[in-house]
Structures are given as C-alpha cells and as structure tokens.
Amino acid sequence: VWAAKAWREGDPGGTRAGRRPRAGSVPTGFLDVDVTSAPLALECLYTPWAPGTDSDGAPTPQDCPRVFSAGLDLTEMCGRNPAHYAEYWKAVQELWLRTYLSSLVLVAAINGACPAGGCIIALACDCRVLADNPKYHIGLNETLLGITAPFWFKDAYVNTIGHRASEQALQLGYLFPPSEALQVGLVDQVVPEDQVLSTALSEMARWLAVPDHARQLTKNMMRKATADRLLRQRDADIQNFVSFICRDSIQKSLQVYLEKLRQRKG
C-alpha cells in the first residue's frame, strides 16, 4: 500500500511501520502494525514486510514475493482470552477505518496472495493492481475457516463487486485468481509481476492529478455511509466478535485450519 503524501514528499521508503515477519513465516500483514497506541500516521502504512528501497528510493516489495498479506493473524484469534480478542478486534476496526477513510490516495500493489484481511485492506484502497500469477488469489475466504466475514468486510465487498457476486463468493469462501478478479471488478488492473510497482505508480499519478480537495470530498461522500455503519456499532461489533470467536466450535475450526496450514508447509 502506497501512501500518496509520503510518495509526493519523496520519502517512499523511510516511514515504513510494523515488524518483519518471522523467519519462514508469511506476513499476516497489517496487524503487525500497532494501531492501538499513538495516533497512527497512515503515511506509515507501507506493506510492513517490504524491506529496503531500490537505488531510486522506491520500495521493493519483491523482497517478499508470493504473499501480499495472509490476512489476520490467526494466532491472535486462537487460545487467547476475551480481553485479548476485544483489543485485537478494536485494532482491526481502527486500521480499516483509518485506511478506508484516509484522505490520501492509496494504491494497493498486490504482489502475492491476498486472502480475507489482506483483501479487506486492499479494498480500503482507492485502486488495486494485481500481479498476473495464477497463485495470487484474492477474496474473502472466511467460510472456509469455519468463520463468518464481519458485516463491514461484506459491505466493502458488495460496494466493490456487487451483491450477487458477493453473496456467491462469500458463501463459497471463493478466492479469485487474477483474471476472474479483474472480470468481477475486485481489482482494477492485472499486470505482469515485474510491472506491478510501476503500474501502481502510474495509477497514483493519475489520481494525484485531480485537485485534492475535490477528490477528498468525493471520496468521503462515497465512503461515509459504509464507515458510519461500523462507527455506530463499534462496541457491539467487538462484543459479537468476542462471543463468536470464544465459542468452542469456532476455536476448534480455527485450530484445525491453522494446523492444516502448518502441515501443508512440511
């Protein structure tokens, strides 16, 4: 995710937040960023697993290919206590709201798999560029984990690909390969892998060419109702999440899923 302000100020690599993924692990992405402490400058929200800059000072997300974000960190949702789940979910809400409502131009350069929470952050951006690799699936696959996508994930999906396509994809937990993601409107461009970044930059330039105040007001006009729906019921949404995730059956499903992931690796 590129933040326009930092990019425009010529500091694309210097304000990256979040910790690097564990060795041998996939980035579970944005929730490595501590959004519960001091106000988060969205300018700091680069893909946290993209270390280094190239000779022009541009970020080099190719350093961790194959995964854009593996979504929410399932280890944060398994075997913990209700207070932990509540704090975690508040952070998820906060990050999404700040991203979704940002007045900055945000372009997602999706250079790998992008399931569930990864998809929801990409959807919060203004534009998505996906690398053309049949392994780079994107979508909301929650049902395959035995859980339900929260209503605001669903709202963002519906806003992007429409009701019928969302209904089908959500129930099936379908992850779209690039060609289908483009066809359904889940991403805006599919390009060869080595052109993701340059295409994202071109998109960024296109969006930045519009007078800022007019673009920002329009963005807010388009997004406010969806964000307000969550803002109105944040606490209830946290309580729903906690009681849902604490169920024995849900914990069991998540543990089985996580175990399968770990075994698949071996």
Ligand X SMILES: CCCCC/C=C\C/C=C\C/C=C/C(=O)SCCNC(=O)CCNC(=O)[C@H](O)C(C)(C)COP(=O)(O)OP(=O)(O)OC[C@H]1O[C@@H](n2cnc3c(N)ncnc32)[C@H](O)[C@@H]1OP(=O)(O)O
With CB under 6 A as the contact rule, the residue among 36, 75, 183, 220 that binds ligand X is 75
94 assigned to active site: no
Which of 129, 150, 191, 203 binds ligand X (CB under 6 A)? It is 150
Question: Active-site residue among 74, 141, 197, 254?
Answer: 141
- 142 carries an active-site annotation: yes
Q: Is residue 141 a contact residue for ligand X (CB under 6 A)?
A: yes
Q: Which two tokens stand for residue 119?
A: 């998809």
Which pair of tokens denotes residue 20? 């690097």
At 62, list the tokens: 């190719």
* Interacting residues with ligand X between 238 and 257 (CB under 6 A): 240-241, 244-245
Rounded CA-CA distance 111/192 in Å is: 10
Beta-bridge mates of residue 113: 67
**HEC string for 147-201:** CCCCHHHHHHHHHHHCHHHHHHHHHHCCCECHHHHHHHCCCCEEECHHHHHHHHH
Would you count residue 164 as binding ligand X (CB under 6 A)? no
147 binding ligand X? (CB under 6 A): yes
Total interface residues for ligand X by CB under 6 A: 31
Contact track, ligand X, 195-234, x by CB under 6 A: ----------------------------------------
Give the catalytic positions in this structure: 72, 117, 141-142
